[in-house]
Structure 1
Amino acid sequence: MLSTGGSYSFRVMTYNIRYDTVKDGKNQWSLRKNYLINLIRNRMPDLFGVQEALPNQIFDLQHALSAYRYYGVGKNDGKRWDAAGTRTCTWVKLRDRYSLQIFYHFNTHFDSTVGSSTPIMLTGDFNASPHSDSYRAFITNTIFKDSKNVSEKSHCGPDSTFSTFIVGNPMGKQIDHIFVTSQDFKICPVDVVDRCNLGLIPSSELSWPIACRTLRSEDSRFHVHNGLLDIIRNLRPTKQNELRILLLGLDNAGKTTLLKVLASEDITNITPTQGFNIKSVQSTGFKLNVWDIGGQRKIRPYWRNYFENTDVLIYVIDSSDRKRFDETNQELFELLEEEKLHDVPLLVFANKQDLLNAAKASDITDGLSLHQIRDRPWQIQGCSAYTKEGVKEGLEWVSKTVTKNKK
């Protein structure tokens, strides 16, 4: 969401979790609920619409996902919409705690036989494919757009969202959708979750998560930073006209994801870096090189091979992995003692701030004793490489610091 103070992101997810019935045999709720719960924990949506959930299933979700609260009524409180059975549409009016923007969230489940100035999301199992009359009714001459179609980048995963419990069976149609008022939302990476666990599928249908931001209502635009190009455009020409940034941190800190974000690349498929990645961006006669070096313990001794001529050191920390704070602190201060990195400006990205258990940047500053650093300019910036929050602010500090040092 956008406010006068900056942008904030939230994640939306819809999932028909399939009602609890003994008729499902080995796929009944008691045998698959943990897989579904773990999937939700992995995706960590801020808003989560479920369909076909019975009271005992809601209780299980609430008990296992204590950070969430639910709102909804039972099927008997619904109405018939020219359908074979009773249906409900649950809606809530929400206010973002950071931007204070008010928006609505509607969640429903349509029968298989079947304008507002405030931002609206509509999630659900519609039992309607993109070729059906029901689907077209939502996007034809209405305020809604299919989030899949207005996403900045192509989605990953299968096109369909209907499946059986049997792994390997052919996929069905795409019948689950997230509709948005397109002028109010910027749709980030979209994907269909088709994860299997030990040969089991959490539900007979697949979930459809997206990441999105609401926009300023007064101009309906969202201003996106251009990653590495932002640094170049703010730099003054030098004799070398080349800047070298070294990206380090422990394994699983999110360095490669961050590098792809800086280069405006897709982040849906990330694998651990076994050696190094390099991204080069050139504009207005200036070249910027960013080196991402793997963080596994066996690779760290080779870090020093890349210290030469470093202009900026970016150190990435997994803010949610508190058990490794001592380890990352030791590695960081050993880096700062390296002669070839003497006086090199340091930016610490406290990554994964989108996770509930992430430590705040201020707490990491105290825990890692960053205030003891006095031989170079340094800055710590809370960020999420996944949602891109805080990345721009970190780049702006790099740009200002490098420009100042190059004078």
Structure 2
Amino acid sequence: MDIPMRRRAVFGLGATAGLAVLGLDVGTAHAAGPSLPILGPPQGNRLHVMSFNIRVPVDGGARSWGNRLPRIVRVVKAEQPTILGTQEGRKSQIQDLVDRLPGYRFVARPSEAGGRGATCAILYRHDRLKKIDSGHLWLSDRPHQAGSITWGNRFPRMMTWVKFEDRNTGKKFIHVNTHFDHVSSESRRKSARFVRQWIRDRSLPTLVSGDFNTTPGSTPHDTLTSGKVFDTWNRPEKRRTPSFKTANGWNPVPKRSDRRIDWILGTDGVAVHATAINTWVTKHRNTPSDHWAIQAVVSLP
């Protein structure tokens, strides 16, 4: 479903001290995190792609969704991605985000049959991109059956795709957003083969965002980046930050590591201009999620 942004009153930020107690501190950067924005709005005909696992709303205290929402909004408003692929968020969470992000629309469907479960939502700037078509596929032997599970994963896993037209250039492209299983290696391997084949069957330039729950050098990463698909992070000269472990476990101090489980991929011909792993935290050292957002500025062939 493609749902336009509904205007709603933004959280009142009130007294700073009281908000800090509640975990609603959306203050400026400090020694433990970078200043925002890191990449910022794209210039000219470039596209800014962000991938962000925003976590399901199961935590309390400073990690509750109500307290984390302003932090995620702060990151997105500062960076102004053209496209934002989120993982884990329930549909109500995606609506919360879009209600607070003027200019964005979204495509999302819950992973479970009956309209429950997490989404692989794609948010996009409607002033820049025109949605031509979209769909949802489940990572299983029955990809068109909502909630289907056949590859060893406990929870349904899926991909959402949108075909866009760039209003600036008239160019058409596809964006895929996905979330691979966190337990079953068989499911991850088969999911990688499925997504790779789906991309190969299309003729348009394609961008892929996702939480793949595995690292570069693994079989799923090698499978996906074989042929015409590449990992945008594998352009060292374009990196604006060090490489960090993208699943942060709520630790506000980023860990330098090549163990990235969140990736942004592109097909041959997509040019990479800048990449980053966004490790911003609030002045009270609260993270927006248990993953860092990842970013890439690209242009289409």
Query: TM-score, normalised to structure 2's length?
Result: 0.64
- Displacement of 1:169 in angstroms is 7.1
2:191 corresponds to: none
Q: Could you list the per-position Cα deviations for residues 13-71 of structure 1 after superposition, in whole angstroms to 9, with x for gaps in the alignment? A: 1000011113x443111111101110010110011100001122112101100210000
Question: Given the superposition, is the C-alpha separation of residues 79 and 147 from structure 1 closer, same or farther in structure 2, using an over 3 Å criterion?
Answer: farther
Whether 1:34 and 2:51 are equivalent positions in the alignment is: no
Q: Please give the alpha-carbon distance, in whole angstroms, between the structure 2 residues aligned to 1:157 and 1:150.
A: 12
Q: Please give the alpha-carbon distance, in whole angstroms, between the structure 2 residues aligned to 1:131 and 1:10.
A: 27
1:16 corresponds to: 53
Q: Please give the alpha-carbon distance, in whole angstroms, between the structure 1 residues aligned to 2:243 and 2:300.
A: 26
Question: Given the superposition, is the C-alpha separation of residues 182 and 54 from structure 1 closer, same or farther in structure 2, using an over 3 Å criterion?
Answer: same
Contact 1:15 1:49 in 2 (8 A): yes
Number of matched pairs: 206
- Which consecutive residues of structure 2, in runs of 5 or more, have no partner in the other structure? 1-43, 113-145, 189-199
For 1:72, the aligned partner's letter is A
- Displacement of 1:85 in angstroms is 1.8
Q: Could you list the per-position Cα deviations for residues 164-197 of structure 1 after superposition, in whole angstroms to 9, with x for gaps in the alignment? A: 22323756731000110032x1101111000111
Alignment equivalent of 1:188, drawn from 237, 259, 273: 273
Q: Please give the alpha-carbon distance, in whole angstroms, between the structure 1 residues aligned to 2:236 and 2:147.
A: 32
Instruction: Give matches, 1:312-391, under 5 Å.
Output: none
Contact 1:193 1:209 in 2 (8 A): yes
Larger relative contact order (C-alpha < 8 A, sep ≥ 6)? 2
Whether 1:79 and 2:148 are equivalent positions in the alignment is: yes
Identical aligned residues as a percent? 26
Q: How large is the RMSD of aligned CA atoms in angstroms?
A: 1.9
Query: TM-score, normalised to structure 1's length?
Result: 0.48
The runs of at least 4 consecutive aligned structure 1 residues that moved more than 3 Å come to 168-172
For 2:84, the aligned partner's letter is F
Alignment equivalent of 1:157, drawn from 242, 267, 289: 242
2:91 corresponds to: 55
Task: Give the structure with the larger helix fraction.
Answer: 1
Q: Which has the larger radius of gyration?
A: 1
Alignment equivalent of 2:166, drawn from 81, 96, 112: 96
- Residue 104 of structure 2 aligns to a residue in which SS? coil
Contact 2:175 2:207 in 1 (8 A): yes
1:143 corresponds to: 228
Q: Please give the alpha-carbon distance, in whole angstroms, between the structure 1 residues aligned to 2:206 and 2:254.
A: 35
Q: Please give the alpha-carbon distance, in whole angstroms, between the structure 1 residues aligned to 2:290 and 2:214.
A: 16
- Which consecutive residues of structure 1, in runs of 5 or more, have no partner in the other structure? 1-6, 216-407
